[in-house]
Structure 1
Amino acid sequence: RAVIGFNEGGSHKVVDMRECHVLRPELMAARDTLAAYFGKLKGKYAIGVELALVDQGVDCLLSGFMPEGLEQTEDLLELCRRAGFARLSLDQGYGPEGFWEPEPVTITLSGTPVACPPGAFLQATDDGEAALVSAAQEWLADCTSVADLFSGLGTFALALGEGRKVLAAEAERAALLACRMAAAKAGLQLEAAHRDLFRNPLRAEELRAFDGIVLDPPRAGARAQVEQIAASGVERVVYISCNPSSWARDGVLLREAGYELAELRPVGQFRWSIHVELASLFVKRGD
């Protein structure tokens, strides 16, 4: 019997998931389909499974697995057809490779279809994403030029791109290219910059070209980048965070540079867990 679920906290042990009341039914059905397929295989496997809902349906990425022989390959193709997967990608440690994709996979962000690379970062829920985007749009409404740092596929850049210039800075090349192409098709004034903001943050003098900044860094926060933001004096900074601890650490840097926390909105994207997403607005005090 195949066990498919989540890792136990601080462990490699997999807790089997037979039901989940916060997971979309389409993803739960995909889990059951994969469990039936792997349950018929001989031997032991340790396989990473990533599932996401895209415009075309369920997107599945399997890490550490490759079908052996013609029979397993045909069975896996039949599984994709029968389950109606939008895409199945396989990663043997060298990056995802396409196995099944009847039509190009997209994810719609603020009304703009964006090509979605396998394993791309997405917000956890539609309503959570809407709350975060709405906060950024409200707080930066009067800005004419905005820098979106750690922009990913363009969740905030595309939402803010109407009627203003936007710089989207991101280290993941596939996500950045997808954002650039989507913005071009939508006719937005968006410049996409391939940049590792941990090793090479935007400098204070570069940031002064903007009157608003939005950043949504990984859980570790963005200390090096926030130091440059603090030195820039840009009037409005929207900081989105999934880790209150690193957010608080970075917030101290902004406060010491003369910024005030004008508003803070917790967003409950992770139901039945201790995790919370934060949307915050820092405003530079007048000298």
Structure 2
Amino acid sequence: MGENNSTTQIGTIHSKDFAHAYYDESHRNAALTRHHHTQNEVIFVKEGQCTFDIAGESYTIRKNQILLISALENHSTHSMCRPYHRYVFVSSMDLCSDYIHDPVMASAFIRSNHYRGVIDLTQETADEIEGYFKILVSETANHKIKWKERCATTLFNILILLYRDNPELFIIEKNPEDLNVIFSIKDYIDHNYSQPLSLESVAQHFYINKYYLSHQFKEIVGYGFKKYIQLIRINKAKILLQNTNLTVNEICTKIGYDNINYFIRLFKEKEELTPYQYHKMYYKNYSL
């Protein structure tokens, strides 16, 4: 029998899930279509390799390597070489914003100037990280008391290991005061995206200069202030489109926009689908 090469349509991990982890062994070559996910993703390869396209850049991840993908970025997998064995942990943005308060650790999911793509692991670190992934698989499957807290703690432990071996991949050269201020503002946006937000009003709220805010936010977060707000609002819109039957107009209002045509244009630019098309494709239609 010849090689089984196929293209697989992968659904979205359900956004109501706080977190989900799994181990998978693929024994066929495949190309996955563009992901429209709403969660952060951590991929740890045990065997084989896979090439991801993220924000126009290609990253090939191999055995004993790890890749972190932000919830704000769509990505595609355009080649997968068998056998491809990997652990995957997907988690809502709330996990980082609500449980991981160390800005250096939280910066792992920010594609800023420090980002270098795939992270190499020593065998010792890979073995330890596999143990943590097994905990994540168990916790997200069984949902025992305080499972969310344990998932957050376990992710934090993984990030610490990555930081110890690869400190250059994290934002450490910045003044700690700048990091704390900007991540406080990022957290403020994450929780107040539905409210009117302007550079001037947020700078005033935090008693800082708006030009300082604009420069430092772009430098640390990797997106301009306005762009980041747009991405957060689109992310929240995707969650509502996947999980509710709210109208596009209602969703537009809930995420902080008062111009539905502007919202639809932004959404289509980011997702290559209109909100209606996205809802039709992903509402209650997901797989792992």
Q: Same fold (TM over 0.5)?
A: no
Q: Which has the higher helix share?
A: 2
Q: Which has the higher strand share?
A: 1
Bigger Rg, which one: 1
User: Normalising by the residue count of structure 1, what TM-score does the alignment of the two structures yield?
Assistant: 0.30
Q: Which structure would you say has the larger RCO, counting Cα contacts within 8 Å and 6 or more residues apart?
A: 2
